[in-house]
Amino acid sequence: MDVKIEQSWKEILNEEFDKPYFKELSAFVKNEYQTQQIFPPRKEIFNAFNLCPFNNVKVVIIGQDPYHGPDQAHGLCFSVKGGIKFPPSLRNIFKEINGDIAAPIPQSGDLTSWAKQGVLLLNATLTVRAHMAGSHQKKGWETFTDAVIKVLSEKKENVVFLLWGAHAQRKGEVIDATKHLVLQSVHPSPLSASRGFFGNHHFSKTNEYLNAKGFEPIEW
C-alpha cells in the first residue's frame, strides 16, 4: 500500500501498511476527509514521522488525540502552529521546562524544532473530526501507533520514552525498559499537572541520559 510517509518509516512499517486493519483505517480516513472537517490537514497526518526519520529518533513523547479546534493540530502531539494560543497542557509543558532547566517560555507553541532534533511527537490517534474529541479512536490508529512503539523498542537502543498519564503509560507497556529510559508521570493537563507533572524534571533527565549515551541533548 502506498502511504505517503518518510522513506525510512515506510520501509520499517511496510508490513503494517498491508495489513487488513490498516486498509480499513485508510478507507475510513479517506471517507472522513471527503465528508467531514478533519484535523490535522491531510498532508500533515504523518508530520511526526516526516520530520523525525526512524534513525534520528532519540526521544518519544506519546499524546492521545490531535487537537480538534481550527488551525491547532499539525501532526505533532501537544504542538500547535505558530500564532495559535497555547492549549493548557502545552502551557504546562513549557512551565515545567522553565522550572526544570530555566529555558524561557517561547512565543510559539510549534514544536517542529523538537521533532527535527529527534523527538517523535506521537499521538495515539492521528486524526480527529472537528470539535469531536476521540471521534477517530478505535478505528485502527491505536493498532498502528502500538506497532510504531514496538518497532522502536525492538530495533533501537537508548531511546527516552516520556509517558505522561495513564493512557500513554498503557501504550508504553511494550517498551523494553532494560535498553531504553522510560520516564512516567501524570499528564500535563490542568486536572493533574500539580499532582506530579510539575517537578518531574523529565526534560533535564532526558538530556542527562542522552549525554551519558553520547547523543546531543535536546534544546527544549
Q: What are phi and psi of 75, to 5 degrees?
A: 90, 5
Kindly name the residue from 65, 71, 100, 146 that is annotated as catalytic: 65
Give the CA angle between residues 111, 117, 119 to the nearest 5°: 65
Active site residue 65: yes
Active site residues: 65
